[in-house]
Structure 1
Amino acid sequence: MENSLVPEFQFIRKYIKKLAGKGALDLTDDAALISVNPAYELVLTADAMVENVHFFTNDPVDLIARKLLRCNLSDLAGMGAEPVGYLLTVSLPKHCFNAEWFEQFTNGLEKDQKLFNISLLGGDTTYNPYNMVFSLTALGKVKKNKALRRNNAKPGDGIWVTGTIGDAALGLLSLQNKISDFDGFLTRRYHLPQPRLGLQLTDIANAGMDISDGLIQDLGHLARESQIGAVIFADQVPLSLQAKKIGISYLENCLTGGDDYELLLTIPSEKEHLAKIESQKANIPLTKIGYCTDQANSLICYDKNKNCMTFKQTGWSHI
């Protein structure tokens, strides 16, 4: 009976079916069914990745798959949501329709599904004569009226970030042979972002989002949506030991390069101690880098000498 299936469905049954969760109905129908708890709201996010735009042709296939999933999980984390499931569309040249490629791709997804407690709900597989294109839509849940938004930052809030900033941007420079990645750490951070799920900050932070297009640019988005200003201090932005070894001449790359997938949060001063407690519980570092002001459309970044920094570009643009 297996051999009577058209090739696409053979691949789905052999490689994709193992990723399917309960709502996917064993991938036997054209849509999924999920139950929605009335105390929660659904959070939906979608991202696409295109060969030679978001990843290189020779990148490990399993890491391409894992980065695709993790970028979407980071969007859920930015709203304080818990993952529920995801939809996946894969558009491939014919040379990718082989057992080895699909096994590597799905093994990568399977590994992260277990790590982040999420499963596939459905999707589509199509032929593309030119390059690899992926699209993933992630679904999450958050208690009603508790989602972190970009538009609720208040003057006086502290500006905080998780983890370290700029590693992935430097990792990309390494892959382009522009700098040396001494131990492979920076390249790994580019290939495999760490979505900051698990921080319980929906009752603590006023505003939040993930950092994907660069710290400066994404902080500008948040400030604009909240109609506030922002002041940050470059020497307070957390950098990894590996980034520090690269040198201060690459600081602008770290602040504007993108692909961090860390969280950007504004937290009122009276709740900072609660944020620190949650940071310790989740084992996710939180660092204060500045504060919000009432000067709408003003974003100032000071260097270590308290001089106002200017940037050639503030971050990644898709257009």
Structure 2
Amino acid sequence: MNEFDLIRQYFTRPTPRADLGIGDDAALLSISAGNQLAVSTDMLVAGRHFFPDADPERLGHKCLAVNLSDLAAMGAKPSWFTLSIALPEVNEEWLAAFSRGIFALANEHQVELVGGDTTRGPLTIAIQIAGEVPRGQAMLRSGAKTDDDIWVSGPLGGAAAAVMHRSGRVTLPQDVFKQCDLRLDLPQPRVAFGQAIAHLAHAALDISDGLAGDLRHICNRSHCGAVVFVDQVPPAEQLIHLPAELALEAKLAGGDDYELCFTAPVSARNKLQKIAAEQGMAISRIGQIVATTQPSIQFLDTQNQALALTLGGFDHFRT
């Protein structure tokens, strides 16, 4: 099987919403009047972003999910993506499973594969995703305002617990590990929720590298501070099987959750809760945006006392 046979067999699907899809030097796309094009890209490298023995069908899901999550954080509707993949060899069984995973999620969110590239090399997957958002309505990291509530969707730390188990830092009961592994391998991008709250939220991002590190991006871009009530940050239920210190690390600094962290005015509380309930989700109000001279995050305990935490997010060049 040569490169073009591989593309034709495993990655070519109809693209009715694109003017031109796979098969030429570039795709041709048209966006609706009054909208902006939102574009994001993520690269996943074996041994860095996923374990080398990762199930290929789950890996197909995850590599698209992390990109969908970026558009969810902007309140954008995803439409198209490209896939570039380096493979150490042509393994048809692996490719069949990988493409099943990626297209199952693509079909769920009605997003089309319109191009990409293949080559031989260490297993590396790069996806670029594009979608539409009404002009001027994208949720930005720079939009947080003083006295905004800080919210997160879903519980945090389950994926981090799976990584801790896989790397030998803890040993979880097998059934608990399998639950955490699902969180790690099959994140659920909050696409519909992101679009639904875009008119209410002031700032947003997705939690990919840990709450502590990612919320700091909002603080930096919005020139503000954040106060986070640690006990209000919802932990994944499996964290009860971790030592207290590691459980705290998992929910505050663990990556791969791909939940949304967003800020919104106090007046939006009831509407946000209603939207979440309509979508069968739980959202948690975890803190407040405050005015500061330097961007910072302060973590408080149940007595409103500051905790001396030095947790940060994942950094590819420091970790």
TM tier, shorter chain? over 0.9
Alignment-derived partner of residue 167 in structure 2: 176
CA shift digits 1:35-86 (9 cap, x unpaired): 1112111100000000100011111011111111000000000011111110
In 2 relative to 1, CA 188–24 (structure 1 residues): closer, same or farther, beyond 3 Å?
Answer: farther
* Distance change in 2, residues 1:268/1:26 (3 Å): closer
CA offsets, 1:161-217, max 9 Å, x none?
Answer: 000111111111122232305331111101111111112111101111111111011
Return the alpha-carbon distance in structure 2 between the equivalents of residues 312 and 297 of structure 1.
Answer: 15
Aligned partners of 2:123 and 2:94: how far apart in 1? Answer: 12
Q: Is the 8 A contact 1:24 1:121 kept in 2?
A: no
**Overall identity of the aligned pairs, in %:** 33
Counterpart check, 1:143 vs 2:134: yes
- How many residue pairs are counted as aligned between the two chains? 310
Determine which of 123, 129, 142 is the counterpart of 1:132: 123
- The residue aligned with 2:312 is 314
**In the aligned structure 1, how far is the partner of 2:119 from the partner of 2:308?**
44
State the distance in 2 between where 1:19 and 1:91 align.
23
Pick from 227, 242, 254: which aligns with 1:231? 227
Larger mean Cα displacement after TM superposition, 68-77 or 192-201: 192-201
- Report which stretch shifted further, 34-43 or 304-313: 304-313
2:183 alignment counterpart:
189
Name the structure 2 match of 1:3.
Answer: none
TM-score, normalising length from structure 1? 0.93
Deviation at 1:249? 2.5
**Structure-2 residue corresponding to 1:208:** 204
TM-score norm. by structure 2 comes to: 0.93
- What is residue 277 of structure 2 aligned with on the other side? 280
Moved more, 71-80 or 174-183: 174-183
Partner of 1:158: 149
How far is 1:11 from its partner? 1.0
1:256 matched to 2:231? The reply is no
Distance 1:103 1:20 in 2: 20
Contact kept, 8 Å, 2:21 with 2:115, in 1: the verdict is: no
User: Residues 1-319 of structure 1 correspond to what in structure 2 (within 5 A)?
Assistant: 7-18=2-13, 20=15, 22-23=17-18, 25=20, 27-94=22-89, 97-128=90-121, 131-177=122-168, 178-181=170-173, 182-183=175-176, 184-199=178-193, 200-250=196-246, 251-295=248-292, 296-319=294-317
AA paired with 1:54? Answer: H
Pick closer, same or farther for the CA change 1:48–1:19 going to 2, 3 Å.
farther
CA distance in 2, matches of 1:150, 1:269: 18
Q: In 1, are the aligned partners of 2:141 and 2:203 still within 8 Å (CA)? A: yes
RMSD: 1.6
Partner of 1:18, secondary structure, is coil
Distance across 1 between alignment mates of 2:239 and 2:50: 21
Q: Which amino acid aligns with 2:266?
A: S
The one-letter amino acid of 1:50's match is V
C-alpha distance in 2 between matches for 1:21 and 1:86: 13
Give the conservation status (yes or no) of the 8 Å contact 2:62–2:186: yes
* Cα distance in structure 2, aligned partners of 1:36 and 1:147: 15
State the distance in 1 between where 2:16 and 2:242 align: 43
Per-residue CA distance 1:285-315 (angstroms, 9 max, x = gap): 2110000111142310113343322334411
Contact kept in structure 1, 2:156 and 2:250, CA below 8 Å? no
Distance 2:185 2:146 in 1: 36
Alignment partners' CA distance in 2, 1:272 and 1:90? 43
